[in-house]
Chain A
Amino acid sequence: MSEQNTAPVLEIQGLTKRYGIKPVLKGIDLTLSGGKIVGLLGPNGVGKTTLIKIISGLLTPSEGSVTVAGRPIGAESKALVSYLPERTYLADWMRVGDAVELFADFYADFDPNRAMEMLERLHVNPEERFKTLSKGTREKVQLVLVMSRKALLYVLDEPIGGVDPAARDYILSTILTNYNENGTILISTHLISDVESVLDEVVFLKDGQIFLHDTVDHIREEQGKSVDGLFREVFQC
């Protein structure tokens, strides 16, 4: 069995992140194994995006360590992580086909044929430039690119935030039908009721720390309520 299969997909130890003197994440410990869909849940501003950016290599931690399949965050871990940010990050000048080519160039696990099939279903012409696409279409194209990889860890930051219900269904369907089943999906969201049915585990982030990490089934059995209900109780204003 390869090193990749035995090590946890994601291991975080003592992770702290400060902006100046203000701590956003405080001593986070988290281990995720393969083949799970994990919800990273918490209200706005609690540190979900900060945690995701550290995993993706966009922020450097103040303290602690993060490894993906035993590899510290760097070029090797980035080859295993497929990241979907909250914002559109593909340049206006690029054509959709250029973006597909870029992903094919850099990621060995990227399937350009699958990407092109999904784009065709979206009626997106590969010759179109990103600046001519609507915001919603750009986001869908980014999602297609990310989910066309057979990554070990998918990190999706608020993939269904700010979109209409029909688009949410499309996004969730795309995620579930295209991800690597041996990999793990970490979805950050505050729209719990929309994703609860697909989650295996949830991580509640509160005041920069992990408040809860449990399976959805166990929460329902022990708490006698849905994850959404527990969330409302934990984070009530």
Chain B
Amino acid sequence: MLSKLLKYEFKASARIFAVVYLGIFGLCLSLGLYMLASAEVGEDYVSYHRDMVGTVLMMVTGLFLGAAVIITTVVNLRRFYQGLYRDEGYLIHTLPVQPWQILASKLIPAVVWTVATMVVMGCSLLLTVVISNQVTLKEFFAAVGEFLADMTEQHLWGTYLLVCVLGLAELAATILQVYAAISLGQMSTRRRVASAIAIWFGMTTLQGFLANILGGSLMYYAVDYVFAPYYERFTGTPSLLLMIGTSLVWCAVYWAVNQWVITRKLNLE
């Protein structure tokens, strides 16, 4: 059933992201081609106007990239709120699926689309740089090869893998936190959106407070002691593991809040 929910969810959001990603690609391609053309023009009346066009194109591209991040966030939040607590909720909550499957069908696409947006932005900017001849493909792949060789020589694969896992865990925790605020907000009889925003601020403050309290705890020393013999081989690993663990704990807490609301406090009016 989860795969069917995911199919429905990706279908709902793919058409929006397809347009956004095409826009990113198109603007970066245009900017790259423009920069390539501009490189051959000297300082004269024509080049002055071309610089103006280039500046505007750069600004538009930059603004669109920023907008893409905002659009990704808004789409993910709207899919959750409308899919669970508005009219579409009448469909979703009457399907023969478990509450955890409904939650997972919202979280997984949100994480996937967020990562995809960052990847598309990165690749499109790379495209701009390569097309405009700032860096050739050969130079780029040579640099990548050197980087990978360094990682292998210094035994850093594990560390970078943990960094990626940490990034995903923190992304999931952040998304689940916002979902929890929305879920708790819908329990209000009035001003549900305002309630959700206020709850989110409260959660963020509380989480920051707890992080400060626990940040200097004995936990760090205990973990260091366990992993001390392996320090040279796994630089930074104890801290990364602790941070991943903390993020997963927050994921579990916010997941439980969402699940509780869906199973015990659902109030579709």
Contacts and interface: CB of A to CB of B under 8 A. Distances in A.
B90 A87 contact: yes
A235 interface: no
B211 interface: no
Interface in B233-269: 263-268
Contact of A53 (B12, B264, B265, B268): B268
B93 A58 contact: yes
Contact of A75 (B15, B88, B98): B98
Contact of B97 (A87, A93, A106): A106
B212 interface: no
A75 B96 contact: yes
Nearest to B7: A105
Interface residues of B, number: 25
Interface string B86-123: 01111101111110000000000000000000000000
Nearest to A157: B90
A59 B268 contact: yes
A59 B87 contact: no
Interface string A12-27: 0000000110000000
Contacts of A60: 263-267
B4 interface: yes
B149 to A, nearest CB: 47
Point out which of A19, A57, A89 has the most chain B C-beta atoms below 10 A from its C-beta. Answer: A89
Contact of B94 (A20, A76, A78, A88): A78
A106 B95 contact: yes
A212 B87 CA distance: 32
Contact of B87 (A83, A87, A105, A107): A87
B93 A57 contact: yes
A102 B89 CA distance: 15
A146 B121 CA distance: 43
Contact of A78 (B8, B89, B95): B95
A56 interface: yes
Contact of A93 (B15, B89, B91, B267): B15
Contacts of A87: 87, 90
B91 A107 contact: no
Nearest to B15: A93
Given A91-B12, A93-B12, A106-B1, A59 B95 contact: no
A199 B95 CA distance: 27
Contacts of A57: 93-94, 266
A118 B261 CA distance: 38
Interface of B: 1, 4, 7-8, 11-12, 15, 87-91, 93-98, 189, 263-268
14 contacts: A57-B94, A58-B89, A58-B90, A60-B263, A60-B265, A60-B266, A75-B1, A78-B94, A87-B87, A89-B90, A90-B88, A91-B12, A98-B11, A106-B4
